[in-house]
Every structure is written in structure tokens, then in C-alpha cells.
Amino acid sequence: MPLAAAQAGAQVALADESLRLTGNGAPTALVQAVRGSASITLFPATVAAGCYADHWVALAQPARMTKMRAGAVVFATGVIEQPAVFRNNDLPGVMLASGAARLAARHSVAPGRRVVIIAANLDAYVTCLELHARGVRVAAIVDLRTAPESDAAVSACAALGLLMLRAHAPYEALRGPEGTVAGLMVAPVTEDGRLDGSAPRRIDCDAILMSVGWAAATQLYLQAGGSTRFSEELQQFVPVDSPPGIFAAGRMNGVYDLESRLADGRRAGSQAAAHAGYGTSNGAVVARSTRCPSHRFPIFDHPLAKNFVDFDEDLQVKDLENAAQEGFDSSELLKRYSTVGMGPSQGKHSNMNALRILARFRGVDVARLGLTTARPMYHPVPMKLLAGRSFYPERRTPCDAQHGALGAVWMPAGNWRRPEYYAVPGESRAQSIDAEVHAVRSSVGLIDVGTLGKIEVYGPDSAELLDRVYAGRFSDLKVGMTRYGLMLDESGVIVDDGVIARLGEEFYYFTTTTGGSATVFRELLRLNALWGLDCTLVNVTGHRAAFNFAGPSSRGILQQVTDVDLRDEAFPYLAVRSGQVAGAAARLMRVGFVGELGYEIHVAAGRGREVWKALCAAGAPQSLRPFGVEAQRVLRLEKGHFIVGQDTDGLTDPHEANAMWAVAMKKPFFIGQRSLRILQARGPRQKLAGIELAATAPLPKECHLVIDKGSIVGRVTSVTHSRALNKSIGLAMLSPELAQVGRDIQIRVDNGDLLAARVAPAPFYDPKNLRQKAGAGA
Amino acid sequence: MSVVSLELREKRHRLGLKGPRAAEWLAAQGVELPMTPNTWTQSEGTGAADALLVARLGSAEFFLEDGTDGTALERISPSLDQNPPGVYPVLREDWAFHLGGDGVHDVLAQVCNVNFAALSLDSRPLIMTLMVGVAVLVVPQSAGGGGQGTAATRHYRIWCDPTFGPYLGESLGAVVIECGGRYTGVSG
């Protein structure tokens, strides 16, 4: 194969697991020619550990990992010998025959002093002769079949005078005083694998070699996108459909005879070279072998079990049958439930037998079940080969340096770094956060919200798109106004939220959660393409800086640096306006997330710093404080606003989150609408409710459980101490009967104590929203 | 010792356009367009300093960057204020880098899965990929024009989202310096 490709003019890399290139039975002259070819680079002692897109192969060498991008890849990965499954097949001394033969041939190590070979193919007889020639005594060959093939090797074995049993199978390996093999009990077996264990026969031995079949090493081929089918004739999976540039050859391809394998290699080599642009493809397709090298069911029951299928995971036949009985009766489910094939050998010795057991259980052919694809790395790879540069992309807003200069204490938020709070000398963390909250409530505060997702949608169908992807209605939103939007998935679960602003008849600008921006944008692109709407989406998340400038003094201060008329009559609550802020083109949205008069200011990223500086300078006379994520959490919690993903979970629908006000059920369609109708009819499983605790009570933690009559009936999702309210407040997901205002609940904290709390109406602060709407002190 | 350099490029005028009629509109403004997706063109101009780069991202999106002395975008941008149908502006505040030198491929091999060394420049390919985990736009250029070009004559123009700019610059810069090169960073 490598020679054929090299002779066509291609540069060839040959990765071989063996320490030395042996050719695996190939003529010596051929091996020498490969070694001597200037166009062939040998990678000895190298494992192809994974195959990725675009012919990218990970080559694990003894000292390094080579990432090889090839023009074409030929998989001549061979077959892996499979064990027989019988009682005590995990004893030391039970071995694969090919392993024993290799030990003897390469290292002159005898597998035992008295050996029994379990046979189901010609390889068993060849191994017998090899071992005999090296002085190893073979006591018996126990052939599962009624008649082995006619072959010189079989005749030669018979001539040795050793015990040769046919239609017999291993019933039980016997344990000696040292815990190793002391003998093998064998019993008659029928063609369909039924063992008659009523009168087993003992054969004394100290090693049991198994030569009952092979599994094609197709995993790398599958990783490369190839597909296989199960060949009943060969009792193995064989390639059927290869993606461009991927080729299979040799025994993995179902071709076993040496001459045929050589021809198949030449065919695959020339095809690979041609695909890579060298020479033309030649060589006819080689017929697959007609002699079956594998037994169809080398698995034998025993009343006392201990017949192991997966040696990594200690799985016996009964474990797999029990899994199938439990309903995990596909190859994928069986793997995940039983963990078969999940050990270090990645199922090399267990997957095939597990499939056979599953097929028997279901009464179907193995071909009906299919093979799972192992994840890379297919072989265990030393950690040292994976060491290297590690990249952890981190996003920083344009004002990152300003935050640092102001004493920001950083916290991760998705892949962003954000100020948790701004440390002030002489203040504790709690004092700083408290002061930041107080500044917003009493005067003015400024927070960098540039991490919010920011998306524009243009075009005649932009309103239609938003009406379909958000639960609310946006086609009737007036130009110059904003509206809160709730995004659901198909099952009606809340997945994101944000503010949608209409900047033109066919132009919207909207925000998403910080963590959801990429996902939302990608999903909207997909849906837009799927629905064929005439609109265009633009993700400007990183290209726009954004700030929330909030507090009762915010309007007066902001007016100093903007040409936008901020008076209520010109710029009412929930309006959006465009204009200049500190000389930069800006979009201003009057929102109320923190519960005060406030403006979200969006400018081009490159202008972010100067706008931040200008706002800080203008606010300084009125004791402006920048505030971080922690203060914002307190502020929003005082207003009872939930955070998607924190106060909601993967099952929370708008009804449970008390957010049906943001849902327009009368719309013809939106994602999640149908599920929401079903969920509404069923009634909520849980309800998000406000809770309050006495100011003197210890503060529970988020995720502490709510207990009622000894049962778990909910959990705390957010909690904080509110200086403005002089009590502790929070949100909790409760069973519906508990989520009634005034209801007393108990929260179990870390030390097991139960804290008393009460369900309370939210918002906790300024419940009529007068401060954010009117902008005056309530 | 190999020579390799990473330079954070000074601010230039950039414009993004997207939409079903973006190509038609740009052509009407006299802008020479790449005809196939994921390729680029550069106007001849009077010199590199005023050359206009036009990159086609997919079929219906364009990224334009003026040379340091270029005025093309100043000329055409005002026409966008009339909101031509099917033509939508895309705010481009990218950070831009210039990576070059005869050790450039040693650096790229460590930070990106694309084999840039094997890339033919004849078709003026535009590469959208991940570099140190960050989505980037890469325009490979050769001093001699198209073809393979030697490493010494190849250089790469790289753009990324500005919020990833500091990380990309620091990460690439560290590899460049390890490879014996220099990183000329300026404030973004």
C-alpha cells in the first residue's frame, strides 16, 4: 500500500504500532522496499490515536504527538482478536492466542508449560504449530466447530498426536492454589452455541489460549466518517461507504489471504495517491474472504457466572442481559448504562461480544444493532504527549483598563471578566458592595454592561422573525420604543431574555443574556435560514460598548454630556433614542432593571472608554460610583427580577416564573407556544416566589433547600441582604401550594439548622415602579 | 535565527456590509468586488498606504478596510445614510494584527489548525478560523502577489472581535517572542 502510493509520486507517512516494521507476514523484499523508499516516512511505535475532520490524524509517538493533515488516509488497521466468554476467563493464564504467539516469537516467552487452545479458526492450528516448534507442549485443541477446515495446518496438528476435540467448548477454567489456571473443563456444544454442562471433561493445563475470532479495527475509520455493515459471512463489520480521501484495506476490509491483502493494499495505495493528486487510481476491487475467521457466538453460560465480557469494567454476561432487560436494549444505550467498552481498551475486546449478547437477547441479527464509534483518543495516550500551550480565550470590555484602575475585583462571567465590585481602601467587600447599591438608590451609579449580547436585525421580515422567536409580540412595537422579550425553547422552557428596541420600521436592536449571546445568534441564523425570511442578522456584541447609568440623579448628569432630550415627555420610560453621548454616536434605552431612573447607553466599542470617562467625570460632583455585578444582583433582587439560568432551570416555563405577562399567547405562532398550552393545562410543578427573612437571621445560600414536613419542597435561587429594606430577601422555587404570599417556610442551611422565612410579594422595592417610570423619588 | 513580528495595526477606517443587495450596492459605488465567497481583492490605488481591501465573507457579507491614507470609505459611507434597501451596515470595531517574517509559519503552526504554509495565494483565499481559540479573519498576502510565496515574503493580516483583541495579542505575542520575534503592541 505505501509503496503503491509512493510509486505514484505521493509522499507517504506510515504509522505502525510495532517498534520495528515487520510487515505482518509480508514478503521480506516488500518490507525492505518500504524501508528503503525515500518517499515513505516511517513512524514506528506510533499509534494513530484519533482521526478528525479533513484527514487530520493524531499520531502518538513515544516522545511526542504529531498532528498529521493528510491528502488522503488509508486505514489498514487490521483486526483485533476476541476472547471467548466462559466461567473464570479472567484467571491469569487465560490469553489470546495471538498474544501468546507474539510473546513466543518476539520475546521467546512460553505462555505456559501445558497449553490448551480453544479454536474456532485456522489461526488456532497455526499457533499450535508455532508453539510446538518452540518447545511448548500443547495438551489439546478444543474446537468449537463440528468440523475444522481442511488445511495442512490442521493435518499437521493431528499428526502431533495431541488431543483434538470437536464440537466442544470451554465450560469453566479451573483455579489452582496460586490463583492461576490449573485446568479447563470442556463440554459438548451444539452449532448454535448451546453447551451441555451435565458432564464436563477436565483437561489439566496451566494456560488457555483463545483463538475464536476477530473484530475489525474500524474505530479510526468510523471517526473519519466511514460507515460499516456487519458481514454474516465473515462475522465482522466491514467498510461500506468511505468519505472522499478515506480508504480501507486488508483484514479490516474483510480481506484475509496474504496475496489478496497485498493486492488490496496496492489498490488502496493507488487510490489514495490519486485522490491526493498523484497518478491514477488502478487495481481492481479485491474480493473479501469466503472463509469465516470468527465464531458467531463464542459465549458460554454457566450457572455460577463469572464469565466476563468486559475485563476493564468487570462486566459479566448477566450484567449485559440485565441492562437489556431494563430496557437499555440498543448498542448506544447498553454502552452508557452498563459502561461496556468505556474502559481503557475502549471496547476492543468487549464490544463485539456485547453486541452478540444483545442480539441474542433481542432475538435479532447483530447486523440490526450497529456499532458505536469510540471517541478519540482510541488508545490510551500518555499525558506528557498532550502537554502544551493551553488557550483560554477571555473577553474584555473596552473599559477593562478603567475598571482595573478603579480597583475592580474581577469575576468570570461566561468567557468575560467583569468587575464583581470595586474595592475601596478601608472598606470591606460587603461595605463596598453596599455603598455601590446605595449610590444607585440615592444618587447615581454606572455599570459596564458591554457583556450583554447585542444583535441587530434588518429587513422586511425582521418583525416576523422576532414574533416567532420571542414569546412576546414585537410587530406592534412602536418605532422608538423597547419591550422586554422572553425566549423559549420548543418545550416552553425559558432559555434567554433581553430588551428589544425598534429603531426603524424594518430595524430592531436587541440584547441577550451575557452567556447566551453566541447561542442565541447562532440559533436565530439557523431559524432565519430555515424559515426563509427576508431579514438579516448582525451580531455586534463585541463591537458595541454598553453602560447602565442609573439613579435618581442620572438624568441631570447625563443631560450634561448628551444632545438627546432626556425630559420625560421627550424620552419616556421604555423609549429608545439615538444621539450623541460625549461626542460618540449612541443608542440610549430607558430601562429599569435596577429599579431606578436609568439609561442604557450603547456606543461603538472604540468610543467606550471616552464615554465611560465622561460619565464618571460628569457624575463625580454627585458622588457617582461605578458598580459591579454583585451590586447589580442586589438591586435587581430588590426589584424581584429573575436571572435566566440562576432563578430558572432547565424546566422552568414562564408560568412558573410568573412571567406570563411577557407572553402573547394569541399570536399565531412562537417557539414553545404549543408546549406552553399543554403546560398551562397541566398546571405548574413549581412557582418562583419572593421570600424574606429577618435582618438578624443568618443568610441562607443559593440552592439551600426548602423543607416542609420533612420533605424537600423547593430551593432558594437567589438571596441577599437589602440595606434599603432592612431585611434579607430572595427568590425561591417552591411547590405551588407553598408559593402563597404570607406562607411560612423553612430553609435548611449548611449545618442542618432550619431557618424561618416567609413568602413575600415581589418586587420588594418600589412595587409600583414609580422610581424608574417617573424618575422621581417615590 | 528566524525573524517574526506581530504588530497591532493602527486604527483604520473599516466598514462592514451585509444583505441581499450589498454586492450590487458596492459595485454601484465603484468598488471592485471579489467574485467568489471567502476571497478578497485590493484596489491598486497609488500605493499600499491607500489600497482598499475588500473581503467577501460568504456570499452576502463584505468587510472593507481602507489603507492608512485611504479615502474610499469616507467617500462611500455617507451614501449608506440613505438606507438603501437590502444593504445593512455592520459595525466593525475589530482589532487588527500584522504577522510576518520568515518564522511566521512556526508561529501559526502553534496557534492554529490551518496549515497556512501549504496555502496557495493564487485565488486570494480568505480564512475564517480559530486562532488560540478566538474566531479570526485572516488574509494571507505575499509581497510578490499570488502563488505560494516564501515564508520571508508572506505576511498575514488578522482581524478579531475587539473584546478578544487583548487576549489574542498577548497570546500570539507570547508565541512570537518565544520564537525569537517581537510584538509591537499599542493600546487598542
Kindly report, residue by residue over A548-579, the tens digit of the pLDDT.
999 999 999 999 999 999 999 999 999 999 99
Cell triple for residue B94?
475589530
Nearest CA in chain B to A607: B93
Are A538 and B11 in contact (CB < 8 Å)? no
Chain B contact for A514, CB < 8 A? no
Residue A778's pLDDT band, with cuts at 50, 70 and 90, is very low
Of A393, A416, A450, the CB nearest to B132: A393
Q: How far apart are CA A553 and CA A566, in angstroms?
A: 12
Burial of A300 (0-12, 13-18, 19+ CB in 10 A): buried
Residue A185's pLDDT band, with cuts at 50, 70 and 90, is very high
A589 phi, psi to nearest 5 deg: -120, 130
Please choose, from the candidates B120, B89, B163, the residue with its C-alpha nearest in 3D space to the C-alpha of residue A538: B89
Residue B5's pLDDT band, with cuts at 50, 70 and 90, is confident
Are B20 and A536 in contact (CB < 8 Å)? yes
Mean pLDDT of the residues in chain B = 88
Asked if residues A12 and A5 have their Cβ atoms less than 8 Å apart, the reply is yes
Kindly report, residue by residue over A355-384, the tens digit of the pLDDT.
999 999 999 999 999 888 888 998 889 999
What ranges in A228-377 are assigned the alpha helix state H? 258-275, 317-325, 331-338, 351-362
Are A605 and B115 in contact (CB < 8 Å)? no
Contacts of B110 in chain A (CB under 8 A): 389
Q: Which one is predicted more confidently, A746 or A1? A: A746
For an interface test with B, the pick among A528, A540, A587, A611 (most B C-beta atoms closer than 10 Å) comes out as A540
Residue B1's pLDDT band, with cuts at 50, 70 and 90, is very low
DSSP-derived 3-state class of residue A215: strand
Asked if residues A62 and A169 have their Cβ atoms less than 8 Å apart, the reply is no
What ranges in A144-257 are assigned the alpha helix state H? 152-159, 219-223
Nearest CA in chain A to B60: A536
For an interface test with B, the pick among A394, A451, A452 (most B C-beta atoms closer than 10 Å) comes out as A394
Position B188 pLDDT exceeds 50: no
What is the residue-wise DSSP string for A692-733?
Answer: EE-TTSPPPPTTPEEEETTEEEEEEEEEEEETTTTEEEEEEE
Q: How far apart are CA B160 and CA B93, in angstroms?
A: 9
Position A633 pLDDT exceeds 50: yes
Burial of A405 (0-12, 13-18, 19+ CB in 10 A): exposed
Position B144 pLDDT exceeds 70: no
Mean pLDDT of the residues in chain A = 94
Contacts of A397 in chain B (CB under 8 A): 163
Position A487 pLDDT exceeds 50: yes
Of B90, B94, B188, the CB nearest to A538: B90
Give pLDDT, residue B143: 76
- For residue A622, the 8-state DSSP code is G
Nearest CA in chain B to A388: B110
How many A-B residue pairs are in contact by the CB < 8 A criterion?
Answer: 74
Give pLDDT, residue A734: 97
- Long-range contacts for A716-719 (Cβ within 8 Å, ≥24 apart)? A716/A691, A716/A747, A717/A642, A717/A646, A717/A647, A717/A648, A717/A688, A718/A633, A718/A637, A718/A642, A718/A643, A718/A646, A718/A647, A719/A637, A719/A691
Those residues with Cβ within 8 angstroms of residue A287's Cβ, 6 or more apart along the chain or in another chain? A255, A260
Kindly report, residue by residue over A693-728, the tens digit of the pLDDT.
988 889 999 999 999 998 999 999 999 999 889 999
Residue A190's pLDDT band, with cuts at 50, 70 and 90, is confident
Asked if residues A593 and A636 have their Cβ atoms less than 8 Å apart, the reply is yes
Specify which residues A422 forms β-bridges with.
Answer: A408
Q: For chain A, give the percent of residues with pLDDT over 70.
A: 99
Overall average pLDDT of the A104-117 stretch = 94
- Long-range contacts for B36-45 (Cβ within 8 Å, ≥24 apart)? B36/B123, B38/B125, B38/B126, B38/B127, B38/B128, B39/B123, B39/B124, B39/B125, B39/B126, B40/B124, B40/B126, B40/B139, B41/B124, B43/B72, B45/B70
Kindly report, residue by residue over B49-97, the tens digit of the pLDDT.
778 999 999 999 999 999 888 889 999 999 998 899 999 999 999 999 9
Q: How far apart are CA A292 and CA A80, in angstroms?
A: 15
Of A536, A543, A544, the CB nearest to B18: A536
Overall average pLDDT of the A678-704 stretch = 93
Overall average pLDDT of the A56-78 stretch = 94
Residue B2's pLDDT band, with cuts at 50, 70 and 90, is low
Kindly report, residue by residue over A411-446, the tens digit of the pLDDT.
999 899 999 999 999 999 999 999 999 999 999 999
Asked if residues A56 and A68 have their Cβ atoms less than 8 Å apart, the reply is yes
Give pLDDT, residue A139: 96
Residue B47's pLDDT band, with cuts at 50, 70 and 90, is low
Position A406 pLDDT exceeds 90: yes
What order do you get walking across the sheet with A163-165 strand by strand? A94-96, A207-211, A114-119, A137-143, A163-165
Residue A605's pLDDT band, with cuts at 50, 70 and 90, is very high
Give pLDDT, residue B187: 43
| Interface predicted TM-score (ipTM) of this complex, two decimals | 0.93
